[in-house]
């Protein structure tokens, strides 16, 4: 069910309907400057730990920023570090050292380091968090070093001439290496390390992947084009862009691709469905582009104008935010909505945030998964929503949830318990599903001032702070996956279930007379006290409305015993369920 109410987040009017968005365009950008080392040229963020890693090329070290406080620490790297990537699942950081031809592996928990030998002049690095493999493009030895993140053992794969950029599709376990010198792309099969070669344009220097559509985008700096590779077939298409495409960023939620054209002061927006393009004027020398899929904001780093162009992905409106001298790299933490700009000329980092987040006292939280990982597309997620206003505390209406973005229609989470100003909730996946790899799951709590109070002139519920939880889907669970929606329809036939058993919600006829509306929204269960019985009739689990985790139970035949009221309403009070591996 999609929400269709207007809300406020952080004191800003965000939209006329939740079906539109949360986090509308704002000029209230706030910047902070954090000192770094000499000539910072690369930066990466860990959204789980809220740590940011800045590579200082001339100091041969890494500045580690605590995102909560902006306090810093320094970690020694190899000679001439040029690139960095984070594996949020293992909390390991990988720094490619072009001068010493090795990789510094930083333990994010302790900042302890290990050196791993690479090829000559490693200049780019990417990680497959699902397989825990790290791919290092060696500029001068025409190879890729593959590091096993569990053991730091390495393998070497030969690629084309002057490998300049590398990107991973965690869904297909394919790795794409842009070869600047041979004008092609090496496709590495992550399972076997076998390779294939796909022709590109002249001087391919950047690569980005859309794991949802399985399309790969290559920026060809000298032919003013982007090569689009179909990951299923390796067939290609060519999209013309402006002069000097130097960087790419893909929003898998909107299926838009953003190309920074360094020689023409523009950004080309490619529609991933049609390959149609739109041009947005940026500033001088747009060198790097990154984006936040949660807010649908795109950030173009303009080297010679010492600033950042912020693009609203919904409208293509732009805002300019000042940075330091000669900004060269950027990273986004979608959880905190913070953007980190590495300024190579002023030896510091500009931290950009949207309008400051004030604590509304209307909050939602989510129980974290072990290691923030799952193999399920629709894992059981539960949490709480509270109103802590004082005085005048009002009741909670519910919690909205959405996977991947806050810019598309929301679902109402299922309210499973609690009182007026404190509720427990269960994630309502509806048509949502986690993709393999990194996901950002969004929540917004709402209190009840819908009709009784003219809330800030809107006469609508007040929305609490947007919460974002990073979840990593590592592999696919075997057998059938979870039910595609939140309901398993009981019938006289056995219901086959693996992992999660969903209990259905009531219709209006099953609702308390006091509040039929909440029932129609799926907030009251059909079964008041259902239970799961094993084949001997022994109760093994009390069932709750919505999702029930049954992975701990042995495979076999079980029975759902319905409540007495439901049994009187239907001819069959016990239904068969088969749990599979």
Provide the pairing of β-strand 437-447 with 266-271.
unpaired
Phi-psi domain of 349 (left: phi exceeds 0; alpha: psi -120 through 50; beta: other):
beta
User: Quick check: 525 and 545 in contact, CB under 8 A?
Assistant: yes
By C-alpha distance, which of 517, 526, 529 is closest to 570? 526
- As to burial, measured by CB atoms within 10 angstroms (0-12 exposed, 13-18 middle, 19+ buried), residue 516 is middle
pLDDT of residue 571 exceeding 50, the answer is no
- Of 105-119, 135-149, 507-521, the one with minimum mean pLDDT is 507-521
Q: Give the residue-averaged pLDDT of 105-123.
A: 98
Percent of the chain with pLDDT over 90: 61
pLDDT at 2: 43
* Residue carrying the six token digits 């320094």: 74
Please, are residues 88 and 132 in contact by the beta-carbon 8 Å criterion? no
Distances (CA, A) of 473 to 123, 128, 136: 28, 12, 23
pLDDT confidence of residue 575: 64
509 and 420 within one domain: no
Residue 396's alpha-carbon distances to 363, 387, 508, in angstroms, are 10, 7, 21
Instruction: Clarify whether residues 569 and 521 are in a common domain.
Output: yes
Select the more confidently predicted residue: 513 or 227: 227
Q: What is the mean pLDDT of residues 336-349?
A: 97
User: Is residue 388 in a domain?
Assistant: yes
Let me know if residue 212 belongs to a domain: no
Q: How would you write 228-243 as a 3-class SS string?
A: EEECCCCCEEEEECCC
Residue 420 lies in a domain: yes
With the CA atoms of 542, 544, 546 and 550 taken in that order, what torsion angle do they form, in degrees rounded to the nearest 10?
A: -20
Band (pLDDT 50/70/90 cuts) for residue 8 is: very low
Nearest to 486 by CA among 561, 557, 425, 538: 425
Query: What residues form DSSP beta bridges with 420?
Result: none
Q: Residue 437 belongs to what domain range?
A: 362-473
405/452 same-domain check: yes
Give residue 485's pLDDT.
35
Distance CA(118)–CA(50), nearest Å, equals: 28
Please give the biggest Cα pair distance in the chain.
Answer: 77
How many structural domains are present in the chain? 2
**Residues 504, 469 within the same domain:** no
The lowest-confidence range among 102-111, 192-201, 397-406 is 397-406
Helices and strands (H and E) in the chain: how many:
2, 50
Asked if 527 and 430 sit in the same domain, the reply is no
Residue 130 inside a domain? The answer is no
Looking at residue 455, what DSSP letter applies? G
The arithmetic mean of pLDDT across residues 331-344, rounded, is 96
553 pLDDT more than 50:
yes
Do residue 444 and residue 505 come from a single domain?
no
- Are 457 and 507 in a shared domain? no
Least confident of 16-30, 185-199, 505-519: 505-519
Averaged over 547-564, what is the pLDDT? 73
C-alpha distances out from residue 450 to 253, 391, 460, Å: 30, 19, 4
* pLDDT tens-digit series, residues 445-497: 988 764 444 444 444 567 788 899 999 998 664 433 443 333 333 334 445 56
The answer to whether residue 554 is domain-embedded is yes
Confidence of residue 4 (pLDDT cuts 50, 70, 90): very low
Q: Give 273-293 pLDDT, tens digit per residue.
A: 999 999 999 999 999 999 999
Interior/surface letters 97-128, b for 16+ CB within 10 angstroms, e for the rest: bbebbbbbbbebeeeebeebebbebbbbbbbb
Task: Write down the pLDDT at residue 537.
Answer: 63
Q: What integer pLDDT is reported at residue 466 of this predicted model?
A: 87
Q: What is the mean pLDDT of the chain?
A: 83
> Distance (Å, rounded) from C-alpha 413 to C-alpha 428?
5
Mean pLDDT of 409-437: 87
Contact 240, 277 (CB under 8 A): yes
- Nearest CA among 238, 278, 234 for reference residue 256: 278
Q: Determine, yes or no, domain membership for 181.
A: no
Model confidence pLDDT, tens digit, residues 300-315: 999 999 999 999 999 9
Query: Domain for residue 407, yes or no?
Result: yes
Give me the pLDDT at residue 90, please.
96
Q: Do 531 and 565 fall into the same domain? A: yes
Could you give the CA distance from residue 499 to residue 547 in angstroms, rounded to a whole number?
10
Of residues 358 and 419, which shows the higher confidence score? 419
Q: Both 509 and 458 in a single domain?
A: no
Nearest to 466 by CA among 436, 487, 446: 446
Which range, 180-184, 388-392, 403-407, is most confident? 180-184
Q: Which two tokens stand for residue 204?
A: 């391919």
What does the pLDDT read at residue 523? 38
User: Within this chain, do residues 370 and 468 fall inside the same structural domain, yes or no?
Assistant: yes
580 pLDDT band, cuts 50/70/90, is low
Report how far residue 10's alpha carbon sits from residue 397's, in angstroms, rounded to the nearest whole number.
18
How confident is the model at residue 562, as a pLDDT?
59
Domain shared by 503 and 575, yes or no: yes
Give Cα separations from 381 to 87, 144, 424, 525, 549 (angstroms): 23, 38, 11, 18, 10
**Listed residues 473, 505, 536: the one ending a domain:** 473
- Residue 581: predicted pLDDT: 64
Residue 535 pLDDT level (bands cut at 50, 70, 90)? low
CA 402 to chain centre: 12
pTM of the model: 0.79
Residues 396 and 426 sit within 8 Å (Cβ to Cβ): no
E strand residue ranges, 307-407:
307-312, 318-322, 327-333, 338-343, 348-353, 362-366, 373-374, 382-387, 396-403
Instruction: Find the CATH number of the domain harbouring 432.
Output: 2.60.40.650
Judging by DSSP bridges, how do beta strands 495-497 and 574-579 pair with one another?
parallel
Question: Does 572 have pLDDT greater than 60?
Answer: no
Residue 353: name the closest of 5, 10, 59 by CA.
Answer: 10
| pLDDT of 189 | 97
For residue 498, the model assigns a pLDDT of: 64
Residues in the chain: 581
pLDDT of 526 over the 80 cut: no
SS3 336: coil
Q: Same domain for 469 and 499?
A: no
Predicted confidence at residue 512, as pLDDT, reads 40
Identify the domain boundary among 420, 441, 473. 473
Q: Report yes or no on 253 lying in a domain.
A: no
| pLDDT of 497 | 62
Q: How confident is the model over 522-527, as a mean pLDDT?
A: 37
pLDDT surpasses 80 at 558: no
């Amino acid at each position: 069910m999609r929400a269709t109410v207007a809300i406020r987040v952080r004191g800003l009017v965000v939209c006329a309907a939740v079906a539109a968005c949360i986090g509308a365009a704002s000029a209230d950008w706030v910047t902070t400057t954090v000192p770094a080392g000499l000539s910072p040229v690369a930066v990466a963020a860990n959204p789980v730990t809220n740590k940011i890693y800045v590579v200082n090329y001339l100091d041969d070290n890494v500045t580690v920023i605590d995102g909560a406080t902006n306090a810093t620490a320094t970690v020694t790297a190899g000679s001439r570090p040029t690139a960095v990537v984070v594996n949020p699942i293992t909390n390991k950081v990988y720094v490619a050292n072009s001068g010493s031809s090795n990789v510094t592996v930083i333990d994010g928990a302790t900042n302890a380091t290990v050196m791993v030998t690479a090829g000559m002049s490693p200049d780019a690095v990417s990680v497959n968090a699902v397989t825990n493999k790290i791919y290092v493009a060696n500029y001068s030895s025409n190879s890729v070093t593959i590091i096993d993140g569990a053991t730091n053992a390495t393998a070497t794969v030969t690629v084309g001439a002057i490998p300049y950029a590398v990107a991973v599709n965690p869904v297909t376990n394919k790795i794409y290496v842009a070869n600047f010198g041979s004008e092609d792309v090496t496709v590495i099969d992550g399972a076997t390390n076998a390779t294939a070669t796909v022709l590109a344009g002249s001087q391919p220097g950047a690569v980005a992947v859309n794991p949802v559509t399985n399309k790969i985008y290559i920026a060809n700096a000298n032919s003013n084009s982007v090569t689009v590779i179909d990951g299923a077939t390796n067939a290609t298409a060519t999209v013309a862009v402006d002069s000097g495409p130097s960087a790419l960023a893909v929003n898998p939620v909107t299926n838009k691709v953003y190309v920074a054209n360094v020689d023409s002061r523009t950004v080309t927006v490619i529609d991933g469905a049609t390959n149609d393009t739109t041009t947005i004027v940026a500033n001088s020398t747009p060198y790097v582009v990154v984006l936040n899929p949660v807010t649908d904001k795109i950030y173009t780093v303009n080297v010679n104008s010492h600033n950042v162009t912020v693009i609203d992905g919904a409208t293509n409106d732009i805002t300019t935010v000042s940075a330091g001298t000669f900004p060269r790299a950027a990273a986004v933490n979608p959880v905190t909505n913070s953007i980190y700009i590495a300024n190579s000329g002023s030896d510091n980092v500009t931290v950009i945030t949207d309008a400051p987040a004030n604590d509304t006292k209307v909050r939602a939280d989510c129980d974290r998964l072990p290691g923030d990982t799952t193999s399920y597309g629709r894992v059981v997620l539960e949490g709480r929503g509270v109103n802590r206003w004082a005085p005048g505390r009002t009741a909670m209406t519910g919690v909205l949830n959405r996977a991947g973005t806050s810019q598309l229609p929301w679902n109402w989470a299922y309210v499973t318990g609690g009182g007026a100003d404190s509720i427990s909730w269960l994630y309502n996946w509806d048509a949502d599903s986690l993709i393999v790899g990194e996901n950002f799951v969004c929540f917004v709590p709402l209190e009840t001032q819908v009709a009784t109070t003219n809330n800030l002139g809107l006469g609508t519920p007040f929305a609490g702070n947007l919460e974002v939880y990073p979840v990593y889907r590592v592999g696919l669970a075997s057998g059938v996956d979870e039910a595609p929606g939140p309901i398993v329809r009981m019938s006289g036939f056995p219901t086959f279930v693996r992992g999660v058993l969903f209990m259905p919600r009531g219709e209006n006829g099953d609702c308390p007379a006091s509040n039929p509306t909440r029932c129609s929204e799926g907030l009251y269960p059909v079964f008041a006290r259902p239970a799961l019985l094993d084949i001997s009739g022994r109760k093994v689990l009390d069932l709750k409305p919505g999702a029930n985790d049954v992975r701990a139970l042995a495979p076999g035949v079980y029975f759902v015993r319905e409540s007495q009221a439901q049994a009187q309403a239907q001819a069959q009070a016990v239904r068969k369920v088969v749990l599979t591996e």
